[in-house]
Amino acid sequence: MDLMERAARVRLLLMDVDGVLTDSRIYFLPAPDGSWTETKGFDSQDGIALHWLRWKGIKTGIISGRKSPAVELRAQQGHMTYCYQGDIEKIPIIEEILAKEGITRDQVAYIGDDLTDIVVMRRVGFGVATANARPEVKKCAHYVTQIEGGRGALREVAELLLKAQGYWEEILRKYEVNV
């Protein structure tokens, strides 16, 4: 099956966070009470891509081994269907989501960058590695982004999915881009 065929089947796009939605950096900032708050930097073009996917019926979600209030907020702002945090064992989560959605593995895409993501990528129809992913992750991916995580990798994948499913020209016309 070729790349565009895989992308055309996707009804759910799941992803890791650090190294995918972010550049893997974690920032600790002092809070007024003297404690520390963790935050991350997210790409705004990834954000609008999440909206386009939702408009076209492609659900999205996060599965991350770390817990962060910034991730929860990003998931809410992006209208993501799923936000699982604090679980490095991702296979049971994938199985739970598949059961809830009533879809098959070939209808799921997953974007990852590190070793913990390989087991998920091997269980979905469209495994994607970011440009900054570990070499082992890139080897098992169906697609490797040209753009690094935290710099628009999600946007690149979203555009690929939307093109494969015939929605991209409609989105361009919405923004008065001649096609």
Quick check: is 155 in a domain?
A: yes
Model confidence over 67-107: pLDDT tens digits?
999 999 999 999 999 999 998 889 999 999 999 999 999 99
Q: Is the pTM of this model over 0.85?
A: yes
Assess whether pLDDT exceeds 80 at residue 1.
no
Model confidence over 99-157: pLDDT tens digits?
999 999 999 999 999 999 999 999 999 999 999 999 999 999 999 999 999 999 999 99
Instruction: Supply 62's token pair.
Output: 């996060």
Mean pLDDT computed over 10-30: 94
Range of the domain at 23: 3-174
Q: What is the pLDDT of residue 87?
A: 84
Instruction: Supply 43's token pair.
Output: 């790409």
Q: List the one residue out of 20, 6, 107 whose CA is nearest residue 62.
A: 20
Assess whether pLDDT exceeds 90 at residue 43.
yes
Q: Which residue has the higher pLDDT, 1 or 125?
A: 125
* Separation of alpha carbons 98 and 6, rounded Å: 17
Cα dihedral across residues 143, 148, 154, 156: positive or negative: negative
Residue 150, domain CATH: 3.40.50.1000
- Domain count of the fold of the chain: 1
Contact present, 164 and 56 (Cβ < 8 Å): no
* Separation of alpha carbons 52 and 155, rounded Å: 10
Quick check: is 117 in a domain?
A: yes
**What is Dmax (Cα atoms) for the chain?**
55
The secondary structure of 37-97 as a DSSP string is EEE----HHHHHHHHHHHHTT-EEEEEESS--HHHHHHHHHTT-SEEEES-S--HHHHHHH
Quick check: is 141 in a domain?
A: yes
* Separation of alpha carbons 118 and 24, rounded Å: 17
Mean pLDDT computed over 20-38: 91
* Separation of alpha carbons 90 and 118, rounded Å: 10
* Separation of alpha carbons 164 and 57, rounded Å: 14
The amino acid present at 120, given as its one-letter code, is V
Quick check: is 179 in a domain?
A: no
Contact present, 60 and 50 (Cβ < 8 Å): yes
